[in-house]
Amino acid sequence: MKHLLTVADLDRGTATELLDEAERFEQALLGREVKKLPTLRGRTVMTVFYENSTRTRVSFEVAGKWMSADVINVSASSSSVSKGESLRDTALTLHAAGADALIVRHPASGAAHQIARWMEQWAREENRAAPSIINAGDGTHQHPTQALLDALTLRQRLGDIEGKRIVLVGDILHSRVARSNVILLNTLGAEVVLVAPRTLLPVGVEAWPCRVATSLDAELPGADAVMMLRVQAERMNGGFFPSAREYSINYGLSERRLGLLGDDAVVLHPGPMLRGMEIASAVADSPKAAVLQQVTNGVHMRMAVLFRLLVGTQEVAA
């Protein structure tokens, strides 16, 4: 495995191995005084974020540092990107400066794929090794490490993923988290249900490996897990629903709705949460919510991904 661009590239075996390895990293660091492994010593990992982020960037940085990699953070607003440098030039520059891996977040879908293609082409021409590209979110397309850490959290909370019913609620249209989760959860054998207003469902959703419903109340009693998605106002250019208040009443996870869930059901949210909008504050702080566990798992999951991509001789691409 050279790059991690989409969860569609992960078969069930590989995905399960990555989840297992994330748990190994958790065990390896449990109760340690020195949270430092020498595994990536001498490797340079750069995060390149063209969009804001707290969780993803920080957990990649922590994951890299705990494995002794040198981690450098580049944000678009404080780099030459703001002077008009192209994506390709920025990526080549960072590789020339010594990056072994680029962790990329970009508002355009397919940006990470494009960088990986440029890098592979450049590496062939120069006869050098291309850096590994990790997609940390591209537009409304994919966010693979988020889906992996969600799967890890679900597996820990539910014991298994196979046969479990996972309900994704909210702004599916703009959500790369939803797209990645639908694919990965399907790969891992879960039953996925989407609940959203029609206006926030993408064209072609019928072809996805999941069921679509519109009533949240009807889906909650049978759900093993609910994943609440943020309404992504920054990607919206029109009226997708009449008012935030109406959206919250129809699709928000209120305390009343929390009561509809089974005793062992778990509530996930990829963050950032808008308390009072898609999730009530009391629900976000309830024992059913796994939001902070998701963040902790995110660090271990990203360690497993860096380990997989940066360690070992790469097999020849098929």
Instruction: Note the residues at the interface with another protein (CB under 8 A).
Output: 17, 20-21, 23-28, 30-34, 36-39, 67, 156, 159, 293, 307-308, 311-313, 315
Rounded least distance, CB 151 to another protein, Å:
13
**DSSP code of 111?**
H
Closer by beta carbon to another protein, 233 or else 292: 292
* Helix residue ranges per DSSP H, the chain: 12-29, 55-66, 87-96, 111-126, 144-158, 176-187, 216-219, 244-251, 255-260, 281-284, 291-310
Residue 201 vs 266, nearer CB to another protein: 266
- Residue (111 or 161) nearer to another protein, CB: 161
* C-alpha span between 27 and 21 (Å, rounded): 10
When the beta carbons of 207 and 316 are compared against another protein, the nearer one is: 316
Query: Residue 15 in 3-state DSSP?
Result: helix
CB of 7 to another protein, least distance (A): 19
Q: Which two tokens stand for residue 96?
A: 């020339």
Q: Which residues contact 13 (CB under 8 A, 6 or more apart)?
A: none
Q: Provide the minimum distance between the beta carbon of 21 and another protein in the complex, in angstroms, as a whole number.
A: 5
Minimum separation from the CB atom of position 224 to another protein (A): 15
Residue type, 266: V
Name the residue nearer to another protein (CB basis): 25 or 60: 25
Give the span between the Cα atoms of 13 and 11, in whole angstroms: 6
275 to 139, 174, 185, 289, 311: CA distances (angstroms)? 24, 19, 26, 13, 40
Taking the complex as a whole, the smallest distance from the CB of residue 157 to another protein amounts, in Å, to: 9
CB nearer to another protein: give 117 or 308: 308
Residue 123 CB, shortest distance to another protein, in Å, is 18
